[in-house]
Amino acid sequence: MKDYLLDTFRYNDWANQQLLEAIGTLPDKQEAIKLFSHLITAQDKWFNRLVKEKNDNTFSWSAPVFPEQDLKAQWKQSVEKWIRFLESHTGPELEKDIIFTRTSDRKSMSVSIKDVMLQLNYHSIHHRAQLNSLISKQGVKVPATDYIFTVLKEV
């Protein structure tokens, strides 16, 4: 599972960097910047729930919206925290639960670290589709970000 999660985080990083390049060429970038910022803030909120460095209420799912020039660095910082965490933990450690208080209703919740990591990658796929739609509607070529392009080999 650990290797699979590392592969998905690395793929997700590559794919999202392709999108950042396309976002940079958009005539109207605001909605795309807002959506991409959300990917970062969601990853950071979940990471904080894992490491418990700050009060969870100080993290939002949708704020801040980062300035365009900061998106790449913010994304890199966010995804690299997760990759470093994965590289330094064993498979069984990833099965452990994290416990947090859900912000919306203050209920105590539990979820495995592995499932959070899967959610983050699936969440990115969902929003990449939305970003691709925004990019396409503005007449910009949508980057090819399918996983298969990262593993195909000529024979």
Q: Is the residue at 94 inside a domain?
A: yes
Per-residue pLDDT of the chain (155 residues; tens, 9 = 90+): 999 999 999 999 999 999 999 999 999 999 999 999 999 999 999 999 999 999 988 899 999 999 999 999 999 999 999 999 999 999 899 999 999 999 889 999 999 999 999 999 999 999 999 999 999 999 999 999 999 999 999 99
Q: What is the 3-state secondary structure (H, E, C) of 88-143?
A: CCCHHHHCCEEEEECCCCCCEEEEEHHHHHHHHHHHHHHHHHHHHHHHHHCCCCCC
Structural domain includes residue 153: no
**Residue 61 domain-assigned?**
yes
Q: What is the pTM of this model?
A: 0.94
Q: Would you say residue 132 lies in a domain?
A: no
Q: Which domain holds residue 29?
A: 2-113
Query: Is 52 part of any domain?
Result: yes
Domain count, the chain: 1
Tell me whether residue 121 is in a domain: no
Of 132, 96, 114, the C-alpha closest to 15 is: 132
Is 136 among the domain residues? no
